[in-house]
Structures are given as structure tokens and as C-alpha cells.
Amino acid sequence: MKFTAQQSDDGVTERLFDLTVAGAVVPGVLWTPEAAVGPRPLLLIGHGGSQHKLFAPLAAYAKNYAKTFHYAVALIDGPGHGARTTQEQSAGFGEKIRQQMSRGEGLGGEVLERMMQWAGQAKPEWQAVLDAVQLLDIVGSGGPVGYLGLSMGALSGISLVADEPRIKAAVFGLAGLHEGSQVLAEAARKLAVPIEFLLQWDDEMVSRQAAMALFDAIGSAEKTLHANRGGHGGVPPFERAGWMQFFSRHLGPAIISP
């Protein structure tokens, strides 16, 4: 893992890194408390379709977890996203998503197919990032790891969390079981850690039925569905506060060194 830039602001240190995985350069970012010494819980955040590792709302949550809970938080540019694509391709993919939404068709066809392909590719990348980050003194290998990902971030995360025993709790949502989602369904059934699952009651991309089917498939003994009014982009702010409660319950507080 090669660190390419580092800066600190408001008590949080941001480190950009590149990690080569199976020939591909995966760019990522790690946030930790500025005064971090020793191991701590680690939260992985998987961004949504057409977003990237420094997408402002995700970076804001990440910094908040580092600042409030003293967690380490990592994001990567998913396959086909951020620095791993051109602005033109990224805009083109975003436009395809918007068109599907405006036609009221829901997630499907080429867009879903590409997201599932990227999700499969992201899994070994996240595992390599986890390996590398856990070698750092300020993260360590002993602490619990969580995963937070909505929409495409959930598609990527479900198979990762299903196969990765280091991850102890996850927030997923804004995703569903669509026709031909056998791989996703199988991964969901393998999940065994506590899951909080977000559903938007009027989601233009994921039908209520598809989202319910995905929640139903989750194998975990502890799983909670949170459904709210509103569309794909309208998750209410109080749910974000709820994720902090969830992770604090399952990953625990960081041990602050004296």
C-alpha cells in the first residue's frame, strides 16, 4: 500500500493510498483520528453507483466516525468509478441510471448487470485493502470491522461480508433481489452477522417487493429492516444517526490510549 497524500483537519487525518490488486491500481482513502495511537475498530464504506471514494456526503460520515468514535474508516474507488474511469464514462453511466429512474423502470438491464460485475470485482479488492490497512499500527488486526453500503455499495458489500469473517456487522439497503439475482441471494443467505437494512418505501430503482425479498433472504439471526417514505435518494437524516448507534453497539468504542 502506497500513501500518496496526507492532510489533517478538525482532528481527523486523511490519507490517500494506492493498492495494486490483481494488476489493477485501487485508489483509496483512510480516515483516522489525528491523535490515533494503537488499534481501533475499522469501518469500510462502499459508495453507490456513479459515486467515488471522496464523495462528499460519505466523506462527511467517515470523518464523523473518526472524530466521534475514534474509528478508522476506509473507502475505495470501486471498479469503474472515481479515478478508475474517465469523467466522460462516469457521466455516461450516471446518465443511464438517471434515465432508468425517470422511466420508472427500476434497476435492471445493463446498469444492474454492470453493477453486479463490479461487485464481484470489488470483493477481492476490499479484502486486500483490509489486509493492508490492518497492518498499520493505528488500525491493527485485532479490532472488529464493520461495513456500510447502500445501493451499489450494498450489492458489493453483501458478498464481501458473507465471505469475510473479520466483518462483524453491516448496514445495507436501497438494493433488492431482481430477476436472475441468484448470486446475490446466495450471498445474502450466507450472512451471519447483525445487519441493519434500509428500504425506501417509494424507491424508484428498487421495488418494495425486491427489497423485501433481499431482506428476507438474509441469513443473520439479528437483522432489522428500516423502511421510510421517500425515493432512492431520500433516506432521512435520522437514519444516519441510527447507523452510528448500530455500529457503536456492534463494533464497540475505540480504546483511547492515554
Nearer to a copy of itself, 90 or 248 (CB): 248
Binding of residue 242 to a copy of itself (CB under 8 A): yes
Inter-CA distances, 66 with 48, 78, 186, 252, Å: 21, 22, 33, 13
Contacting range for a copy of itself; rule: CB under 8 A; set: 47-55, 69-77, 182-190, 231-239: 231-239
Nearer to a copy of itself, 54 or 192 (CB): 192
Nearer to a copy of itself, 90 or 224 (CB): 224
Among 63, 178, 226, 232, binds a copy of itself (CB under 8 A): 226
134 grid coordinates:
490492518
Closest listed residue to residue 71, CA positions, set 239, 244, 258 = 244
Please give the biggest Cα pair distance in the chain: 57
**Cα(117)–Cα(115) distance, rounded to whole angstroms?**
5
Site for a copy of itself in 145-204 (CB under 8 A): 199, 201
For residue 192, the minimal CB distance to a copy of itself (Å) is 13
The site that binds a copy of itself (CB under 8 A) totals a number of residues, namely 20
For residue 238, the minimal CB distance to a copy of itself (Å) is 6
Q: Are 31 and 48 in contact (CB under 8 A)?
A: no
Nearer to a copy of itself, 136 or 195 (CB): 195
For residue 95, the minimal CB distance to a copy of itself (Å) is 31
Q: Are 51 and 45 in contact (CB under 8 A)?
A: no
Binding of residue 241 to a copy of itself (CB under 8 A): yes
Instruction: Mark out the alpha helices in the chain (DSSP H runs).
Output: 56-69, 87-102, 109-133, 152-163, 182-190, 208-217, 237-251
Binding of residue 215 to a copy of itself (CB under 8 A): yes
212 grid coordinates:
423485501
Among 231, 236, 240, 252, binds a copy of itself (CB under 8 A): 236
Binding of residue 248 to a copy of itself (CB under 8 A): no
CA torsion angle for 152, 190, 62, 205 (degrees, to 10)? 20
Residues of the shown chain interacting with a copy of itself in the complex, contacts defined by CB under 8 A: 199, 201, 215-216, 221-229, 236, 238-239, 241-242, 245, 249
